[in-house]
Amino acid sequence: MSNNNKTIKGGEFLIKESNHNDIFIAENWDEEQKMMRDTCYDFIAAEVNPNLDRIDDMEEGLMTSLLDKAGELGLLGISIPEEYGGFGKDFNSSLLISEATGSGHSFAVALSAHTGIGMLPIMYYGTKAQKQKYLPDLGSGAKKACYCLTEPGSGSDANSGKTKAILSEDGSNYILNGQKMWITNGGFADIFIVFAKVNDDSNLSAFIIEKEFGGITLNPEEKKMGIKGSSTRQVFFNDVIIPKENFLGEREGGFKIALNILNIGRIKLAAAALGAMKNIVSQSINYANERSQFGSSIATYGAIKHKIAEQAIKTYATESALYRTGLNIDQATSTLLESGMEDEKAKLKGVEEFAVEAAILKVFGSECLDYVSDEGVQIFGGMGFSADAPMDRSYRDSRINRIFEGTNEINRMLIIDMLVKRAMKGQLDLLTPAQAVAKELMSIPDFSSGDEELFAEEKKYLANFKKAALMTAGAAVQKLKMNLGKEQEVVMNISDIIIQIYVAESFFLRVRKLVDTNGEESCAVKIAALKTFLYDSADKINVFGKTAINSFAEGDEARMMLMGIKRFTKVNPFNTKKARRIVADYLIAENKYTL
């Protein structure tokens, strides 16, 4: 993968024009990556899909046997360094594996919990001895892992947890007591990553606990709306004796571990959601082609074409942003490694740099999956509501993703919080471009595209969208100051503008790069999808901006900014119905998602 654009920073997309040659697009996977992806597809088709009902019925030993088989194929060790028995692949390759297994319903959840939040704390924060002891077994599937953070009284506010570890008088071990809930893989895990406060500490620490230590009891499996085959238990720790060598990371460093692992979890959740979306779109197209009403396949009707096109456009948009970010993370990691930083620390810092983008992807990906599955139910009609058809499971299983890895509301607020903090630390100059936009509001607007370059109009739209974000966010920060965090509705409006911009720009850069390679004619369907997405983005940004401005400004100030929002979201008339039909007709002819 190209590493030309090493200097890009997380969040910088808002103030810097990106070059389409510097991004990674999913059309550029190499042969080895495609082979890894196809291995996952084959595994899901052969081992998971025929057994979905058995998995949801929680047949004893089935999920662990599937994880064992995945381990035999090497699917659990993609990210683990070769010295510990893994493949040591880059971050974007690990995202591809998450996508390729993402259609596996409850199995995908168990897999991602094991390889992500269960395994990565040891990989990134463990001592050499801890890695040597645990990673080979976790990578092979001989041992299964889970992650224990949430408690009955602490969810989003994780640091308020009550689980406590008391250091023994001789300092040789810790004695742990407490309760954790919503623990994925809790019913069969051998290794528990547990967060607790040591003695009277204010902040969490982390521990690696083996089930064999004893003192661990489990409540029965939770009855859930979806992902019914995923083991979800309450876990009780009663005088669990933990050897001091199983302390993970630094004392009171647990919250940092949790946050950094969640950054990875968020972007990997978007990857899994993408895999599920592609599967649902293909099922929707296939059913629409087969189902006949009023003498014709329902795929011939405009209402169904609209749904299929919109499902596909949201899917392609998610994919465009996902792998753009994945490459940025790999680039940041490479730069840090070249500066002499240790491998694991560089990988963590690489992800941390793009925590804003990870939160954006988590929100956008999970909400697109909800949309795609909901429209899948609608396309299937009465059969969509039947448990005998695939949409029932897809619809129920999709809903958890807006809650997992920090709720979407928390993630929206985090996006703004992280951007503001980076600006205050001087890491990201948001003030200068925000002031430039404020000055521009006083000038005569220029509605020309400015040049004759290919996609000049679309480039101008994106530049203006960014001005809308900078104007609204800058004014909100200036007006509300320290109270901004309390105005959650305003924060979420601004966050929604930023999310829309990042995805729209990613979509644009991908199509622009493809046109350079393949020519406009061969990219006609993707250009139609892009123009539709940008046109709709303008309306969304307009509404988010107006709503935010009306919440904190009034009088001449409000009128000036509302004029600005109108100016910065102005787009030329465009026939989205015709464009969506171009997308839908192509996919209907292919009888599957092939964008």
Element (H, E) at 260: helix 254-290
Task: Output the CA angle 380-383-384, nearest 5 degrees.
Answer: 55
Long-range pairs for 402-407: beta carbons < 8 A, 24 or more residues apart = 402/366, 402/367, 402/370, 404/265, 404/269, 404/366, 405/262, 405/265, 405/266, 405/269, 405/362, 406/156, 406/262, 406/266, 406/359, 406/362, 407/156
Residue 220 three-state SS: coil
Q: Please give the Cα distance from 130 to 126 (Å, whole number).
A: 6
Dihedral (C-alpha) 378, 95, 526, 372: value to the nearest 10 degrees?
10
Q: Are 314 and 353 in contact (CB under 8 A)?
A: no
- Is residue 452 among the annotated active site residues? no
Q: What is the DSSP string of 546-569?
A: HHHHHHH--HHHHHHHHHHHHHHT
Q: Could you give phi then psi for residue 238, rounded to 5 degrees?
A: -120, 105
What whole-number distance in Å separates Cα of residue 211 and Cα of residue 191? 6
Q: Report the candidate in 363, 365, 336 with the shortest Cα–Cα distance to residue 349.
A: 336
Give the CA distances from residue 484 to residues 420, 423, 487, in Å, rounded to whole numbers and listed in that order: 10, 15, 5
Catalytic residue among 405, 452, 505, 521: 405
Contacts for 377 with CB less than 8 Å, ≥ 6 apart: 384, 385, 391, 392, 395
**Strand 191-198 relative to strand 164-167, pairing:** parallel
**Residue 95 near residue 267 (C-beta atoms within 8 A):** yes
* Segments in 389-487 forming alpha helices (H): 390-398, 408-424, 431-440, 456-480
On the CB side of 105, how many CA atoms lie within 13 Å of its CA? 30
* C-alpha radius of gyration, the chain, whole number: 24
The one-character DSSP state at 154 is B
- Asked whether the beta carbons of 91 and 134 are under 8 A apart, the reply is no
Closest CA to 62 of 76, 47, 72, 81: 47
- b/e sequence 42-66, b meaning 16+ C-beta within 10 Å: ebbeebbbebbeebbeeeeeebbeb
CA–CA separation, 25 and 38 (whole Å) = 18
DSSP letter, residue 404: T
Tokens representing residue 157 in the block: 């506010």
Distance CA 473, CA 548 (A): 9
User: Which stretches within 24-61 are classed as H helix?
Assistant: 31-43, 52-56
User: Buried b / exposed e across 553-591, counting CB within 10 Å, b at 16+?
Assistant: beeeebebbbebbebbbebeeeebeebbbbbbbbbbeee
Say how many CA atoms lie within 13 Å of 158 toward its Cβ: 23
Residues acting as catalytic residues: 405
